[in-house]
Structure 1
Amino acid sequence: MPQVCIYPKDAAQLTGTQYGTGKRLLQRIRTALHKPARAYVSVAEFCQFTGLPEAEVNAALNSAPALPRQRPA
């Protein structure tokens, strides 16, 4: 199932910042949208606020993790 909300860890990874910065970014988004402090922030809301393309954010969030490389035998 595709991810539809952004968590601080996701915000930090998508913007290349640290976890605390991701938390502050999500709080600024909630404030701008007049949401309660612990309300979820959707991918669409995050993209609208940051200007990042929604298709790329969805691809980054919903991509399967890379498999570990195997050593040659």
Structure 2
Amino acid sequence: MPQVCICPKEAAQLTGTKYSTAKVLLQRIRKHFDKPARAYVSVAEFCQFTHLPEAEVSRALNGK
């Protein structure tokens, strides 16, 4: 099953940043989309905010 949510560890690997920086990025994404503090961030939301191609991010997360 393909992954649909992004956690800080994966956001850090995708963006080449540290874990703490990735946590802040996910917080900014949640704020941008008016989500609660502990809400999941989807791959689509992550890609829309970071302007990364969704197909490449999904491929990196799912190892294909």
Relative to the length of structure 1, the TM-score reads 0.85
Name the one with the larger helix percent. 2
Structure number, greater radius of gyration: 1
Q: Which has the higher contact order (CA 8 A, sep 6+)?
A: 2
Q: Deviations over 1:32-52 (max 9, x none)?
A: 100000000000000000000
Unaligned runs of 5+ in 1: 65-73
Match in the other structure for 1:71: none
Q: In the alignment, is residue 23 of structure 1 matched against residue 23 of structure 2?
A: yes
**Equivalent in the alignment of 1:53:** 53
What CA distance in whole angstroms lies between the structure 1 residues aligned with 2:9 and 2:15? 10
C-alpha separation in 2, matches of 1:20 and 1:32:
19
Percent identity over the alignment? 77
Runs of 4+ with >4 A deviation: none
Unaligned ranges ≥5, structure 2? none
Matched, 1:4 2:32: no
